């Protein structure tokens, strides 16, 4: 009996152990990991799919503008030289003659006007008859005005109460006594009076008066030049000859003073020199008379030949006949301006910038801009939205190009094939 119980107990123990083993095997199977080789295979498949997606994505090419050659011409219109014709002091007969010649030949010039011609500084009264005359000259559109002092008389050295000696240009010596503020009156005062009487004129330039030389040998003192620079952008000197572009000093802009005994055989070569050297020549005339001339007067017959030659060179595209004010503004803009030009697909963008006062320096600069060789004409869209058709020119080094006039700091000009 005892043996039977032992047998039964052993059988139960075996049964329990067998079930436990079987149960352990089943649990291990449910939590079994994927073999390492299989993991790597799965990762490779995922990476391959990701790589295929990247390769099939199309990336748009970003096009960058390409630089185009562009330069600012030293003379308006790409011409070779600037010629200024100025009349000093305010002789009525000379002014009438100049209007006749300028209208016949399509020229322009500058009146260097003494303010006391139209205003009495002693009484403060306007000279209405003279004002009407000079306004009529301006109304022709052939002239602008530069200030030529208030009274055209010696003004001292310091702008303080002063006395001393000066010499005139004929060699005579004179004693003077001057009240304080005389230089300011002759410079700023003349500008203010001329602006008030002729409101269409900006009076931005000053013309040195040949009133004499101080006993120290100085014509215009440092104080005089300092005061002039406060109220003007440039000064025309009374000599010096041919000027560079831009000028070496806009407050000592050179000129050529015509005198009796001279004629077109001396003046015309000055125009040719300006053309050859890419410079500026400012002709300074006082009285131009129909008969025999003397002193600083010259004869009409001779000046007519000069004016006809200047007009011929204007027609040939070699000379810009300019107001003195415009000559100063343009050449100073040339000194300070930078031009930028680039092409993107079928559009060229051009702009001009400078560091000058835009209220004063607002004259268009001529830019020579390269365009593709197959552009036989160009449509230029200006910053104000207006569109102009331009002619192209064949170049040598720069290829095909156009001339476009752009005011500095005015915005972008867009060029398209015409």
DSSP assignments along 177-239, one per residue: EE-TTHHHIIIIIHHHHHHHH-TT----EEE-----EETTS-SS-HHHHHHHHHH-SEEEEEE
Structure tokens at 125: 């009264």
287 and 346 belong to one structural domain: no
pLDDT, tens only, 360-369 = 999 999 999 9
Confirm whether 345 is domain-assigned: yes
Of 303, 330, 357, the residue at which a domain comes to its end is 330
Do both 255 and 214 map to the same domain?
yes
CATH number at residue 292: 3.20.20.370
Residue 204 is assigned to a structural domain of this protein: yes
Kindly state whether residue 262 falls inside one of the protein's structural domains: yes
Q: What is the mean pLDDT of residues 166-181?
A: 93
**Which of 330, 347, 376 is the last residue before a domain boundary?**
330
In a domain, 44, yes or no: no
Do residues 240 and 376 both lie within one domain? Answer: no
Quick check: 271 and 83 in contact, CB under 8 A? yes
Counted domains in the chain: 2
Domain that holds residue 355: 337-417
Whole-structure pTM value: 0.84
Q: Which residues have C-beta within 8 Å of that of residue 149, sequence separation ≥ 6?
A: 114, 115, 155, 186, 187, 190, 207, 209, 211
Q: What is the pLDDT, as a whole number, of residue 304? A: 98
Burial class (CB in 10 A: 0-12, 13-18, 19+), 15: exposed
In terms of phi and psi (left: phi > 0; alpha: psi -120 to 50; beta: otherwise), the region of 181 is left
- Note the pLDDT tens digit of each residue in 6-55: 433 334 333 433 443 333 433 333 334 434 444 443 344 344 444 444 44
Q: From CA 262, how far away is CA 298, in angstroms rounded? A: 7
Is 363 in the same domain as 323?
no
Q: What are the tokens at 329? A: 């503004």
| 63 confidence band (pLDDT: 50, 70, 90) | confident
- Is pLDDT above 50 for 175? yes
User: Does residue 306 register a pLDDT over 70?
Assistant: yes
In a domain, 91, yes or no: yes
Please report, in angstroms and rounded to a whole number, the separation of the first and last CA atoms in the chain.
125
Average the pLDDT over each of 36-50, 292-306, 384-398 and give the range with the smallest value: 36-50
């Amino acid at each position: 009996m005892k043996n039977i119980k032992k047998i039964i107990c052993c059988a139960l123990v075996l049964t329990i152990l067998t079930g436990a083993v079987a149960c352990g095997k089943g649990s291990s199977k449910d939590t079994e990991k994927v073999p390492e080789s299989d993991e790597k295979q799965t990762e490779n498949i995922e990476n391959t799919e990701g790589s295929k997606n990247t390769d099939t994505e199309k990336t748009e090419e970003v096009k960058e503008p390409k630089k185009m050659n562009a330069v600012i011409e030293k003379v308006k219109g790409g011409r070779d030289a600037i010629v200024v014709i100025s009349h000093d002091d305010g002789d009525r007969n000379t002014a009438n003659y100049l209007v006749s010649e300028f209208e016949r030949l399509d020229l322009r010039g500058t009146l260097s006007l003494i303010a006391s011609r139209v205003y009495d500084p002693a009484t403060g009264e306007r000279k209405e008859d003279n004002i009407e005359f000079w306004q009529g000259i301006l109304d022709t559109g052939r002239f602008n005005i530069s200030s030529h002092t208030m009274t055209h008389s010696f003004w001292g050295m310091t702008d303080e109460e002063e006395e001393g000696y000066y010499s005139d240009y004929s060699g005579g010596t004179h004693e003077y006594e001057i009240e304080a503020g005389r230089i300011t009156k002759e410079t700023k005062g003349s500008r203010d009076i001329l602006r008030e009487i002729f409101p269409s004129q900006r009076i931005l330039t000053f013309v040195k008066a040949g009133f004499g030389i101080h006993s120290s040998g100085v014509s215009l003192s440092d104080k005089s030049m300092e005061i002039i620079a406060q109220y003007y952008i440039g000064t025309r000197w009374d000599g010096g000859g041919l000027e560079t572009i831009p000028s070496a000093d806009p407050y000592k802009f050179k000129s050529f003073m015509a005198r009796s005994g001279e004629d077109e055989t001396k003046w015309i070569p000055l125009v040719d020199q300006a053309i050859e050297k890419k410079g500026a020549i400012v002709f300074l005339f006082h009285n131009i008379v129909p008969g025999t001339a003397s002193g600083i007067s010259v004869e009409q017959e001779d000046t007519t030949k000069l004016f006809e030659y200047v007009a011929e060179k204007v027609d040939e595209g070699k000379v810009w006949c300019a107001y003195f004010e415009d000559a100063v503004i343009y050449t100073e803009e040339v000194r300070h301006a930078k031009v930028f030009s680039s092409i993107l697909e079928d559009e060229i963008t051009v702009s001009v910038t400078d560091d000058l006062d835009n209220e004063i320096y607002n004259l268009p600069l001529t830019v020579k801009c390269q365009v593709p060789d197959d552009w036989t004409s160009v449509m230029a869209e200006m910053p104000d939205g207006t569109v102009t058709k331009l002619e192209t020119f064949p170049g040598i080094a720069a290829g095909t190009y156009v001339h476009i006039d752009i005011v500095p700091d005015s915005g972008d000009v867009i060029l398209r094939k015409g």
